[in-house]
């Protein structure tokens, strides 16, 4: 994390995924939205092969629900 973002840091979490799917993990960062300038919608990239894994879809849906509730 850059020094510019460390002042906005609130929390972080790493969730391991099934090792049969990937050698990556899900990283969640919570930052305070007090940046001096407005930002656009951003860019999100996903690996489309994960949509075939029901367990991944369920965990991802739970994470999104928790984030937006």
Please name the residues in contact with 56: beta carbons below 8 A apart, sequence gap of 6 or more: 17, 18, 21, 50
Reference 6, options 32, 41, 43, 42; nearest CA is 32
Report if pTM > 0.75: no
Q: How far apart are CA 58 and CA 55, in angstroms?
A: 5
- 11-64 tens-digit pLDDT: 888 988 888 888 888 888 888 877 567 667 776 777 788 888 899 889 889 988
**Beta-bridge partner residues of 28:** 13
Reference 16, options 2, 28, 33; nearest CA is 28
Reference 21, options 62, 59, 64; nearest CA is 59
């Amino acid at each position: 994390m850059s020094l510019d973002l460390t002042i906005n840091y609130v929390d972080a979490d790493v969730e391991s995924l099934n090792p049969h799917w990937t050698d990556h993990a899900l990283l969640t960062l919570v930052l305070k939205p007090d940046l001096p300038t407005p930002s656009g919608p951003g860019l999100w990239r996903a690996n489309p092969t994960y949509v075939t894994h029901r367990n991944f879809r369920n965990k991802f849906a739970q994470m999104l629900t928790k984030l937006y509730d």
